[in-house]
């Protein structure tokens, strides 16, 4: 059944066929467009208009999705989602939708806290469907963390939301094409020991036990899902010069080095603590498959400098695959058909690849 008709100008079948599964079924990806005042719906429409081979299940308000697509010059074919239906080909521009209703009209560029429960409901539906095996993976477009909190709902990010719902410890890792070790595909991979918390709270959050958990998840995932047989991981220090032997801070001595020692004793090739200011010079990066940064803005500026627009955020440690874009809601671009879908496409590709593995 078509909830919203709109014929794409050229409804060609997907040519991106290498990814079709052994039984000929397309992998089923749950897509959450995120903040309705941002660029998420436009990006989802642009992904749908491409020849990307997957069964795209968009969890969103269908009217708002259609309007955002039209504003970008895309005529989507929006069908209602029936879980019992599987598909072997997707026409360009076609998506299936799990309909959820906005609480207030979506106005590009203007946040409205009344839509926060809607945004979280889309994430919850995606998480529950992925956990039950209904979806092969989740791909998320950006949410606005501030407006969800403005609505009175404590929320720090997708990563923490999915971790809590799944009851798992997770690790945020971003991967950008190029800039990393050639032997493991050349990608620059930056994982974070801490995620969305005030800078003043970071030192107390850097603990030996937490780092051991994070490094185990990171190493295990690099081996199992990224097919790196014996990953080499660089662990950054927290303080300038990795603490300068304790003269510029003790976290390296008290927490970080003992965690590294524990991982090495368990057979993992984990090095550090390495001073963060030189860890990202090309000769250093060539030695490592991933870098563990101690906090968000220690690692992500470098990653985004290297690959903004093509990088992917992946949550390691979940019982299902979840990837996301490398950018935020870009309220300044919303509704203007100026949003680059490169990162969402890369996130969808990685989700599909990881789900196949």
Ligand X SMILES: NC(=O)C1=CN([C@@H]2O[C@H](COP(=O)(O)OP(=O)(O)OC[C@H]3O[C@@H](n4cnc5c(N)ncnc54)[C@H](O)[C@@H]3O)[C@@H](O)[C@H]2O)C=CC1
Q: Is 325 in the site for ligand X (CB under 6 A)?
A: yes
Cα–Cα distance for residue pair 221/214, rounded to 1 Å: 11
> In this chain, which residue has its C-beta nearest to ligand LD2JLWAY?
157
Among candidate residues 318, 311, 314, 316, the one with its CA nearest the CA of residue 340: 311
**Length of the chain in terms of residues written:** 357
Q: 158: annotated binding-site residue?
A: yes
| Contacts (CB under 6 A) with ligand X, residues 174-193 | none
Map residues 29-68 to x or -, x wherever contact with ligand X holds by CB under 6 A: -----x----x-----------------------------
| Contacts (CB under 6 A) with ligand LD2JLWAY, residues 145-184 | 157-159
Q: Is 40 in the site for ligand LD2JLWAY (CB under 6 A)?
A: no
**Residue from the set 214, 324, 329, 343 that interacts with ligand LD2JLWAY by CB under 6 A:** 324
Q: Is 324 in the site for ligand X (CB under 6 A)?
A: yes
- Sequence-ordered list of residues with C-beta below 8 angstroms from that of 117, at least 6 positions apart, any chain: 103, 151, 153
Considering Cα of 108, then 297, then 320, then 46, what sign does the dihedral take? positive
Mapped onto helix, strand or coil, the DSSP state of residue 316 is strand
- Roughly how many angstroms between the first and final C-alpha of the chain, as a whole number? 32
Map residues 140-179 to x or -, x wherever contact with ligand X holds by CB under 6 A: --xxxxx-----------x---------------------
Cα–Cα distance for residue pair 74/79, rounded to 1 Å: 15
How many angstroms separate the Cα of 75 from the Cα of each of 3, 8, 28, 158, 351?
13, 5, 22, 29, 25
Q: Which is nearer to ligand X, 105 or 328 (CB)?
A: 328
Cα–Cα distance for residue pair 60/331, rounded to 1 Å: 18
* Residue 256 interaction partner, one of ligand LD2JLWAY, ligand X, none, beta carbon < 5-8 Å per kind: none
* Residue 272 interaction partner, one of ligand LD2JLWAY, ligand X, none, beta carbon < 5-8 Å per kind: none
* Residue 159 interaction partner, one of ligand LD2JLWAY, ligand X, none, beta carbon < 5-8 Å per kind: ligand LD2JLWAY
Cα–Cα distance for residue pair 226/175, rounded to 1 Å: 11
Q: Answer whether 124's CB lies under 8 Å from 159's CB.
A: no
Write out the residues near ligand X by the rule CB under 6 A.
Answer: 34, 39, 142-146, 158, 324-325, 327-330, 332-333, 339-340
Write out the residues near ligand LD2JLWAY by the rule CB under 6 A.
Answer: 157-159, 300, 313, 324
């Amino acid at each position: 059944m078509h909830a919203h008709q709109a014929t794409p100008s050229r409804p060609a079948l997907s040519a991106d066929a290498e990814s079709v599964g052994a039984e000929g079924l397309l992998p089923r990806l749950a897509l959450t467009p995120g903040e309705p005042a941002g660029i998420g719906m436009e990006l989802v429409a642009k992904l749908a208009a491409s020849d990307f081979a997957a069964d795209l299940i968009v969890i969103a308000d269908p009217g708002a999705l259609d309007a955002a697509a039209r504003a970008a010059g895309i005529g989507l074919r929006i069908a209602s989602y029936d879980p019992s239906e599987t598909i072997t080909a997707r026409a360009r521009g076609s998506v299936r939708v799990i309909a959820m209703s906005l609480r207030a009209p979506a106005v590009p560029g203007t946040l409205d806290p009344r839509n926060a429960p809607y945004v979280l409901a889309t994430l919850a539906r995606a998480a529950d469907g992925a956990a039950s095996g209904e979806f092969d993976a989740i791909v998320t477009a950006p949410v606005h963390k501030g407006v969800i909190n403005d609505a009175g709902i404590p929320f720090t990010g997708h990563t923490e939301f999915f971790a809590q719902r799944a009851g798992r410890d997770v690790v945020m890792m971003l991967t950008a094409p190029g800039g990393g070790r050639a032997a493991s595909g050349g990608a620059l991979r930056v994982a974070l020991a801490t995620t969305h918390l005030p800078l003043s709270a970071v030192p107390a959050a850097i603990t030996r036990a937490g780092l051991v958990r994070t490094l185990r998840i990171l190493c295990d995932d690099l081996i199992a899902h990224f097919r790196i047989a014996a990953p080499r991981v660089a662990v950054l220090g927290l303080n300038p010069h990795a603490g300068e032997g304790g003269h510029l801070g003790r976290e390296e001595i008290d927490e970080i080095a003992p965690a590294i020692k524990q991982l090495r004793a368990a057979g993992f090739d984990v090095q550090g603590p390495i001073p963060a200011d030189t860890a990202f010079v090309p000769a250093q990066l060539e030695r490592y498959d991933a870098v563990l940064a101690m906090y968000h803005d220690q690692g992500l500026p470098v990653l985004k400098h290297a690959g903004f627009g093509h990088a992917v955020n992946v949550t390691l440690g979940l019982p299902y695959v979840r990837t996301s874009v490398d950018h935020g809601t870009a309220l300044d671009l919303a509704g203007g058909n100026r949003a680059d879908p490169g990162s969402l496409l890369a996130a969808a590709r990685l989700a599909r690849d990881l789900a196949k593995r």
